Amino acid sequence: MKPMKRYLVYAGKVVCLLACIAFYKSCGVRTAEESLVFTAAELEENNFSQFRPYPIAKRVAPQRRNITKTQIAIVIMVKDATNDENYRIAVNSIRCYAEIHGYAYYHIDYSKNKTLQRMCPQEDFLFARHCIMVDLMKGVPNEWFLFFGADNGVINPIRRIEEYLPAETTVDVVFYNRFYNDEIMADTYLIRNTKRSHIFLNRWAEYYNLTKDYECSGTDNGAIQKGQGWSRDGWVTGTKWFERDLFFHGWKKEKLYTEWNLPFTSTDLFDKTCSAGDFERWKYDPQFKADCLDVDLELHLFFEKSRTKYYERLQTLRQMDIFPVKFYQKYGL
């Protein structure tokens, strides 16, 4: 093994061990059975400070936690109804989540609105949806919007969107990096209803004209290209979850039992309208409820493996002299 590669592997293992020890201390002292039970006070106050997020992030300012629920909206946007059944579990879980917490909920079917099709004519729907968001934001009173593609579902309804709102009043848009490959996640974002946000989304949508002729552009994701996010790819941990999680990405019915497992007792739990505080709608298969340390260990080992592969590829590029030397120096290569 080359010295640099050996160093990276050992360093990754040390970081992983230290991080997991730190997270174990901050995960709370509940047993596996106790972690499924929450007191009335916890449900009412949303007091989950014992579950320290990964990585450790700044606490949300108290005034953001006290924001009126109706000022927050969840938006699900689809191109048409072709894949409704494919996304049924995911979409219905989010609709139910909005209902039990009192958030505004908007489900937009692009194919059913001719006006939106004229206003946002991008042939790539992934770009058009950001244009549609601007039109929605201008017409409703909500201050914050949590935008989703259709394959994100709610794994843990106890956590609330308020926890992820930035404390800084100058921040209007929040993205997160996907854990396993560091890309900026374009399929979900938090955005404040401001003129700056409208300008940003319009420019993002217009970027379609610069990418449409390139097959490897990455569409809207490529146009914007670590931290604690409100959603993650649950398949990384085999759909195992614990209290820190809120949303899981990738819930497509066609990939159920191949890329992800059903963490609930049924696929029909969220089909009917939910009422305020109806947390019992989430009936779990207990085999997927995991301990904090177990999940963090899996995540860190996966990250270590991914990061090692990343540096191996950088080494290969370095040997090919594709980029200037300065590009590699910042990685110690």
Q: Check which CATH number belongs to the domain holding 62 and give it.
A: 3.90.550.10
Give phi and psi for 151, each to the nearest 5.
-105, 25
- Pair (296, 279) in one structural domain: no
| Token pair recorded at residue 94 | 């989010």
pLDDT at 168: 86
C-beta of residue 250 within 8 angstroms of C-beta of residue 151: yes
pLDDT at residue number 299:
83
Q: Classify residue 54 as left (phi > 0), alpha (psi -120 to 50) or beta.
A: beta
- Within the chain, residue ranges assigned H as helices are 3-26, 40-45, 62-65, 88-101, 114-119, 125-139, 195-206, 208-211, 219-224, 292-320, 325-329
Any domain includes 33: no
Domain contains 32: no
Distant-in-sequence, close-in-space partners of 10: CB < 8 Å, separation ≥ 6: none
Are 275 and 136 part of one and the same domain?
Answer: yes
Instruction: Report pLDDT for 293.
Output: 84
Residue 148 shares a structural domain with residue 213:
yes
- pLDDT for 209 equals 74
Q: Are residues 147 and 178 in the same domain?
A: yes
pLDDT at 140: 95
DSSP character string of 234-254 = GGGGTT-B-TT--EEE---GG
Measuring CA to CA, which residue among 290, 268, 270, 267 is closest to residue 279? Answer: 270
Contacts of 270 (CB under 8 A, 6+ apart): 89, 92, 93, 95, 96, 281
Q: What are phi and psi of 167, to 5 degrees?
A: -75, -30
* Look-up of token digits 């080494």: 315
Q: Are residues 303 and 172 part of one domain?
A: no
Q: According to the model, what pLDDT value does residue 183 have? A: 73
The per-residue pLDDT for 223 is: 37
Rounded Cα distance between 145 and 241, Å, is 25
Whether 92 and 234 map to the same domain: the answer is: yes
pLDDT digits (tens, 9 = 90+) for 253-291: 999 999 999 999 999 999 999 999 999 999 999 999 998
Q: Are residues 307 and 164 in the same domain?
A: no
In this structure, the answer to whether residues 96 and 17 fall within a common structural domain is no
179 and 230 in a single domain? The answer is yes
pLDDT at 87: 95
- Total domains in the fold of the chain: 2
CA atoms of 74 and 82, how far apart (whole Å): 21
What is the per-residue pLDDT for 53? 31
Task: Provide the residue range defining the domain that includes 319.
Answer: 1-27+291-333
DSSP 280: G
- In a domain? residue 200: yes
Residues 69 and 114 in one domain: yes
11 and 135 part of one domain: no
- Domain annotation covers residue 333: yes
CB distance 207 to 127 below 8 Å: yes
Q: Please check whether residues 310 and 243 belong to one and the same domain.
A: no
Q: What pLDDT score does 13 carry?
A: 47
d(CA 128, CA 123) in angstroms, rounded, equals 7
Whole-model pTM: value is: 0.71
Residue 257 lies in a domain: yes
| Ranges of residues in the chain whose predicted pLDDT is under 50 | 5, 7-9, 11-26, 28-63, 65, 214-225, 227
**Which of 68, 65, 82, 141 has its CA nearest to residue 106?**
141
